[in-house]
């Protein structure tokens, strides 16, 4: 405003930079989303966790930084994403693709899903549960996963 008063004849030219400022603001509004999508990651239960035959184990997965995951697909899987341990999609749990091995043995704790945090309980551990697991968070513009190894003791 002070500049306008000092240089009134430049007011026409000043209008252009103000438009540029507007576009730069737009960019700043759009860019953080893009950058977040690079920075957001899934934190799993750790590199390797141990379970005992007959006991239960909990697979905790959360987005970091915390993001609402209620409308995302969250898929726990064995070595491949098509090997479904537990599937949350469209705000509900879908069992049609679940591997027979995990039927009636999974329980999803999703009280904190709006903070991007979910826990999957696997009950009555059997030796065949040993191996590689992962959880994947998926939405239209986002896909991230964490993987870990489950070791089973007491075989
Ligand atoms: C994905 O899109 C939604 C809605 O269009 C937006 O709110 C969200 O910030 C985006 N997420 C990322 C990680 O870019
Ligand atoms: C899971 O539970 C349902 C209903 O109780 C039962 O019909 C089904 O046989 C069970 N599946 C396994 C693999 O135990």
* Domain CATH for 123: 2.60.40.10
CB count, 10 Å around CB of 6? 8
Torsion, Cα of 15, 20, 26, 32 (10° steps): -140
pLDDT at 155 (0 to 100): 64
Does pLDDT of 85 surpass 50? yes
Q: How many whole angstroms separate alpha carbon 75 and alpha carbon 85?
A: 8
Angular region, 6: left φ>0, alpha ψ -120 to 50, beta rest: alpha
Which residues span the domain enclosing 128? 37-153
Confirm whether 17 is domain-assigned.
Answer: no
Residue pair 135/72 in contact (Cβ under 8 Å)? The answer is no
Distance 69 CA to ligand 2 centre (A): 29
Confirm whether 7 is domain-assigned.
Answer: no
How many domains, the chain?
1
Q: How sure is the predictor about 23, in pLDDT bands with cuts at 50, 70 and 90?
A: low
Q: How sure is the predictor about 39, in pLDDT bands with cuts at 50, 70 and 90?
A: confident
* 128 SS3 class: helix
Does pLDDT of 153 surpass 50? yes
pTM as predicted: 0.75
Distance 10 CA to ligand 1 centre (A): 41
Distance 129 CA to ligand 2 centre (A): 18
With a 6 A CB cut-off, is 29 part of the ligand 1 pocket?
A: no
């Amino acid at each position: 405003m002070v500049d306008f008063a000092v240089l009134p004849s430049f007011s026409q030219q000043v209008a252009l930079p103000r438009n540029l400022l507007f576009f730069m603001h737009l960019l700043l509004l759009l860019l953080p989303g893009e950058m977040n999508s690079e920075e957001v990651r899934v934190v799993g239960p750790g590199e390797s966790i141990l379970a005992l035959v007959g006991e239960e184990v909990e697979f905790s997965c959360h987005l970091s930084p915390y993001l609402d995951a209620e409308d995302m697909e969250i898929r726990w899987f064995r070595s491949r994403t098509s090997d479904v341990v537990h599937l949350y999609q469209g705000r509900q749990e879908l069992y049609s693709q679940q591997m027979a091995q995990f039927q009636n043995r999974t329980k999803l704790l999703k009280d904190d899903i709006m903070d991007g945090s979910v826990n999957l309980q696997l009950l009555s551990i059997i030796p065949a549960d040993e191996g590689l697991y992962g959880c994947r968070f998926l939405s239209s513009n986002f896909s991230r996963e964490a993987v870990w190894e489950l070791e089973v003791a007491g075989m």
